[in-house]
Structure 1
Amino acid sequence: MTDASHGWTALVLAGQRPGVDPVAAQFGIEAKALVPVAGELMLNRVLMALADAPEIARIVVLAQNAAELLRHPDLAWAAAEPRITARTSGPTISGSVRDAVRDPAIGLPVLVTTADNVMLTPATIAEFIAGAGGSDVSVAMVERARLEAAVGPNRRTWLTFRGGSYTGANLFALNAPAAINALRFWERVEQDRKSVLRLAAHFGPALMLKLLLRRMTLHEALAAAGRKLGASAAPVLLSDGRMGVDVDKVEDHALAERLLKGPR
């Protein structure tokens, strides 16, 4: 077991966005985090991966009903694990993460992930943290060719830059106090997270034009965005192509079940 006085804190975003979640509705379960995938609750899979990662010292489940989630019978082990706690989230994801980071009981560095990040493994956590040391904010990404080699052609939100297309992996590292600047900005633009063009518009016309013309690599784009935010930012490209798969849609759930039940 990791010494809780050292290491990273993991924040697991397990709350609900406004409106009806299609995955939760499909299975008749109120909380998406409690939907089973390949026989295991999504939240349980993520918590197990984090608990087994020696880099993670403590885990905070962040949701509107976080304490209630941990009362699920399948999560009895997590409720009894002293490294795992529940925290009630606020009205926005970024604001909730910012408030958690500013809490002296949590502090930095912080790894942020989501309850539907069901492909997460201790090996990927180690790889990501090893690559995240040099920037205030690090963002896990998966290259399109690597994802399609692992899971086949797939409909994702692809962000295309000079040199390739990428999708996010629902894994972020906040390494330094300057990361709070990025969280404040993200709170303002969260609704545009699925569109690189709408996101770019928040950074001004020069950056938007470069992105439209694909004149920037992924690394250059994140570095430029970081300069606007007052926090250095860089991607970490993951080797496991499956990490580009989360469970946003019902078809994602079917894909995740196939991947988790099949041979590695």
Structure 2
Amino acid sequence: MAAKILVLAGRRSATLDPLAEAAGVTHKCLVPVQGEAMVGRVLRTAADAWPDAELFLSVEDFAAVAEEPTVAKLHAEGRLTPVEAQFHIVDSVVAASRVTGFPLIITTADNVLMTREVLHRLAAQGAMGEADAIVVMAEKQDILAAHPDGQRRFYEMRGGGYSNCNLFWLSSEKALKATESFREGGQFAKHPKRIVKAFGLLNLLRFRFGLSTLDGMFRHISRRFGVRVRPMVVTDGRLAIDVDNERTHRVAEEILARG
């Protein structure tokens, strides 16, 4: 079965993203990193991972990105299918899943340090059938080793700090329950109170006071949503660095320049 990969590229608000404004483009996903639009780089990595991969791009206006070279090439080849993004990221995933089907790998257009290797590992772990949903995570020490300015906030657990890598795997429609954790934006390291709505008060306390290990926290999350949600921890700390602002844009360019 060909891999199915959904890239989320919708705008979060009607206000133009500061990075997009500075770069003179209409969408953040079109901001260049090392001379290539972020959405193009992510789609190219996904396309290179499997020659028969089915690619999907969630964006509110496909015409706004259709002329980006990689987008245009993949769309012309019939390898890329646009799907209309919704206002909330969760609704975008749910709407897209009706077109994509399952199993489904999900990432974001600003995940420019994503690699073919992590995509292969994620698909292989999903195929083992031990989870309904998988969240790729990296440890604090590995992220800081990749670049000291790559991340500034972490999920502090008993045993160490972690950050997610904006890379997910869903087995079936049932696994969509787990995406509700992103209804409030998902950036819990920046806004821990969002865990109350997403995971419940008890899990907020576990999070705030480092009372759970990473595996323990995911067991609690699994019970809350009634699906098996598992972490996949990677040692490549670069994978947890996406382009959110001027600082992380600089960091990504520095890492990519190393080759």
TM-score w.r.t. length of structure 1:
0.89
Does the 8 Å contact 2:155/2:207 carry over to 1? no
Partner of 2:38: 42
> What are the residue-to-residue correspondences of 1:112-191 with 2, within 5 Å?
112-132=106-126, 133=128, 134-183=130-179, 185-186=180-181, 188-190=183-185
Instruction: Output the aligned Cα RMSD.
Output: 2.0
Secondary structure of the equivalent of 1:197?
coil
Identity %: 32
Asked if structure 1 preserves the Cα contact closer than 8 Å seen for 2:26 and 2:64, the reply is no
1:12 matched to which residue of 2? 7
Deviation at 1:28, TM superposition (A): 1.6
Alignment of 1:216-227 (within 5 A): 216-227=212-223
Amino acid aligned to 2:101: G
Alignment length, in residue pairs?
Answer: 255
Pairwise CA distance, 1:14: 0.8
Q: Kindly tell me: are residues 171 and 255 of structure 1, through their superposed partners in 2, closer, same or farther at Cα, counting changes over 3 Å?
A: same
State the 1:226 CA deviation.
1.7
User: How far apart are the structure 1 equivalents of 2:51 and 2:172?
Assistant: 17
| Residues 40 and 153 of structure 1, relative CA distance in 2, 3 Å threshold | closer
Please list every run of at least 4 consecutive aligned residues from structure 1 whose deviation after the TM superposition is greater than 6 angstroms. none
Partner residue, 1:3: none
Query: Helix, strand or coil for the counterpart of 2:73?
Result: helix
1:25 positional shift: 1.4
Residue deviations 1:72-128, cap 9 Å, x none? 345331221212111111221111111222x2x421101110111001111121122
TM-score by length of 2: 0.90
- What is the CA–CA distance in structure 2 between the aligned matches of 1:193 and 1:66, rounded to whole Å? 30
Uncovered stretches (5+) of structure 2, i.e. residues with no partner? none
Instruction: Note the alpha carbon deviations across 1:3-44, whole angstroms, 9 max, x for none.
Output: xxx232111001111123121112121111111110111111
Farther-moved stretch of structure 1 (67-76 vs 6-15): 67-76
